């Protein structure tokens, strides 16, 4: 028996036992793969992840104990339930000493299997939960940042270390990686969490209104100023002020922001008096501010004032292990919002998600999942509910000989090597041409084991 997005593996050489499992799982609507021997079980494990495995203790060629040892060593996320016959209870107990979660004796009833499913498919407490997600409470609601990659684990640790301080933070990363969410995590894990968190989108305000929006103005200071207005800095007093895409502001405004950060005071447009403010500043950008400093479009002193604590969020294509956990998170979210009950993703969808480049990063993934939840009629997210430009990637894969198709990683490595060759291995120039910062380039060089030839 095969199924979409299987969570359970069964290995038993008894035809009757396999048929019993198959009928029960079909009735319960539980995805499962059922095989007849240990070698087939290990092959299935090498191709996909399972939460639970029922393994017969007595099988020819490779018995259940041998399968258990491999699973415990190579697939520790899979919990094993040993199936034992009459006279082998002692062996089952021995198997539990080697890491089996439980055992069940033949003949068993459907109700016994249901109880085991209920027991072992329930979400288990994760002793290292903080490494897999970062949570914060906003307006009484718990919000989570999802990601299981080592890069995200490092970001979680850094956020929790910097949150209690008043240090300025500069968050960098491509559009859609979740920079504002990281800024909120810092604020709501800090001692300022009960104070305002205000955001200004530096892309949306025109130059003539920017200063008034930030610092306020007094009545009559310019045409249309019919009343005194409090600026965002003043309204954020005691809390956190977040500059989204700060790389887009003019040098004139940069100078005034620098003064506000250094002196902890502001002056409304048209006023002569200064106002003291206690505001923590967090900024974010998808631009290379070091390059902007070199080009003269961003103040060097402001750059260093902002980047006391730099946090870089890698693109989604650089942390592919986060794609499925994020997709599952968004599936649960939009199941609830749209009152749907989709249970997972078809295997070909998961495969496509890992091959797609995700130029819009996490934001694009969320939009794709929301769309799929709305239009999907199956129990799982299928290819038919994905946008056409993503489905086209699968057609391209099928159209040619798979042995000739290169992965995105292979293409990226070749492109980096080509640019390095053209720049005579000037890493700074290579990073600028690629549109990434030097740290990201160094990370890629390390990841792809790229070294300058002797």
Each residue's pLDDT tens digit, 442-452: 888 888 888 87
Q: Is 307 part of any domain? A: yes
Residue 349 in this model has a pLDDT that exceeds 70: yes
Determine the Cα–Cα distance for residues 231 and 214; give it in Å rounded to an integer.
Answer: 5
Quote the tokens at residue 162.
């910097």
Q: The tokens 């103005």 sit on which residue?
A: 217
User: Residue 78's pLDDT is what?
Assistant: 86
Determine the Cα–Cα distance for residues 293 and 303; give it in Å rounded to an integer.
Answer: 8
Q: Is 436 part of any domain? A: yes
Question: Which positions ≥6 away from 15 have C-beta within 8 Å?
Answer: none
Enumerate the H helices of 48-128 as residue ranges.
64-74, 89-97, 110-120
**183 and 107 within one domain:** no
**307 and 223 within one domain:** yes
pLDDT tens track for 402-441: 445 566 677 778 778 877 877 888 888 888 777 777 778 8
Instruction: Please tell me whether the overall predicted TM-score, pTM, comes out greater than 0.85 for this model.
Output: no
Smallest Cα–Cα separation from 282: which of 250, 243, 327? 243
**47 and 177 within one domain:** no
Mean pLDDT of 350-364: 90
Top-ranked range on mean pLDDT: pick from 42-46, 102-106, 273-277, 371-375: 371-375
Determine the Cα–Cα distance for residues 33 and 62; give it in Å rounded to an integer.
Answer: 18
| Number of residues that make up the chain | 454
**292 and 184 within one domain:** yes
- Strands (DSSP E) contained in 112-196 are 133-138, 141-146, 169-172
Quote the tokens at residue 267.
């002056």
Q: Is 454 part of any domain? A: no
Q: Is 3 part of any domain? A: no
Asked if 251 contacts 299 with a C-beta cutoff of 8 angstroms, the reply is yes
* Count of structural domains within the chain: 4
User: Residue 313's pLDDT is what?
Assistant: 95
The CATH number that applies at residue 26 is 3.40.50.2300
User: Residue 454's pLDDT is what?
Assistant: 61
**294 and 348 within one domain:** no
**443 and 325 within one domain:** no
Q: Is 127 part of any domain? A: no
pLDDT tens track for 163-202: 999 999 999 999 999 999 999 999 999 999 999 999 998 8
Q: How confident is the model at residue 10 (pLDDT cuts 50, 70, 90)?
A: very high
Number of other residues whose CB lies within 10 A of the CB of residue 432:
19
Burial class from Cβ neighbours inside 10 Å (0-12, 13-18, 19+) for residue 190 reads buried
User: Which residue range(s) make up the domain with 44?
Assistant: 8-120
The CATH number that applies at residue 369 is 1.10.8.60
Question: Which positions ≥6 away from 170 have C-beta within 8 Å?
Answer: 282, 283, 284, 285, 289, 306, 307, 308, 309, 310, 311
Quote the tokens at residue 327.
């997709």
**291 and 182 within one domain:** yes
How far lies 413's CA from each of 289, 293, 440, 452, in Å? 25, 28, 13, 13
What is the greatest pairwise CA distance in the chain? 95
User: Residue 127's pLDDT is what?
Assistant: 43
Of the ranges 103-112, 179-188, 268-277, which one carries the lowest mean pLDDT score?
A: 268-277
Q: What is the DSSP string of 299-312?
A: -HHHHHHHTTEEEE
Greater pLDDT, 231 or 196: 196
């Amino acid at each position: 028996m095969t199924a979409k997005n299987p969570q359970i593996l069964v290995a038993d050489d008894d035809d009757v036992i396999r048929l019993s499992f198959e009928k029960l799982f079909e009735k319960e609507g539980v995805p499962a793969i059922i095989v007849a021997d240990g070698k087939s079980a290990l092959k299935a494990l090498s191709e996909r992840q399972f939460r639970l495995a029922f393994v017969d203790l007595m099988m020819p060629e490779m018995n259940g104990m041998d399968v258990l040892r491999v699973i415990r060593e190579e697939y520790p996320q899979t919990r094993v339930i040993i199936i034992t016959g009459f006279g082998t209870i002692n062996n089952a107990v021995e198997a539990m000493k080697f890491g089996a979660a439980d055992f069940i004796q033949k003949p068993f009833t459907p109700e016994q299997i249901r109880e085991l499913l209920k027991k072992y498919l329930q979400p288990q407490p994760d002793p290292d939960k903080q490494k897999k997600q970062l949570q914060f409470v906003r307006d009484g609601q718990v919000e989570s940042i999802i990601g299981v990659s080592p890069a995200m684990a490092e970001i979680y640790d850094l956020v929790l270390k910097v949150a209690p301080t008043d240090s300025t933070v500069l968050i960098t990363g491509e559009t859609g990686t979740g920079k504002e969410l990281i800024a909120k995590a810092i604020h709501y894990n800090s001692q300022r969490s009960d104070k305002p968190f205000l955001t200004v989108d530096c892309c949306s305000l025109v130059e003539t209104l920017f200063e008034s929006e930030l610092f306020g103005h007094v009545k009559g200071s310019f045409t249309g100023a019919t009343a005194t207005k409090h600026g965002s800095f003043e309204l954020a007093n005691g809390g956190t002020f977040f500059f989204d895409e700060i790389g887009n502001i003019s040098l004139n405004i940069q100078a005034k922001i620098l003064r506000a950060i250094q002196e902890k005071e502001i002056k409304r447009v048209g006023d002569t008096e200064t106002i003291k403010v206690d505001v923590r500043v967090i900024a974010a950008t998808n631009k290379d501010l070091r390059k902007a400093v070199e080009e003269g479009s961003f103040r060097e002193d402001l750059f260093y004032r902002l980047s006391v604590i730099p946090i870089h969020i890698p693109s989604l294509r650089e942390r592919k292990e986060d794609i499925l956990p994020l997709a599952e998170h968004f599936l649960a979210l939009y199941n609830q919002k749209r009152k749907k009950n989709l249970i997972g993703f078809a295997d070909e969808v998961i495969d496509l998600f890992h091959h797609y480049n995700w130029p819009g990063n996490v934001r694009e993934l969320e939009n794709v999942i929301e769309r799929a939840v709305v239009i999907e009629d199956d129990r799982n997210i299928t290819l038919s509910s994905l946008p056409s430009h993503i489905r086209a990637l699968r057609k391209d894969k099928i159209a040619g000989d798979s042995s000739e198709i290169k992965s995105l990683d292979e293409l990226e490595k070749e492109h980096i090597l080509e640019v390095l060759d053209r720049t005579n291995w000037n890493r700074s120039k290579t990073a600028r041409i690629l549109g990434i910062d030097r740290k990201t380039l160094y990370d890629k060089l390390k990841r792809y084991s790229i070294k300058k030839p002797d």
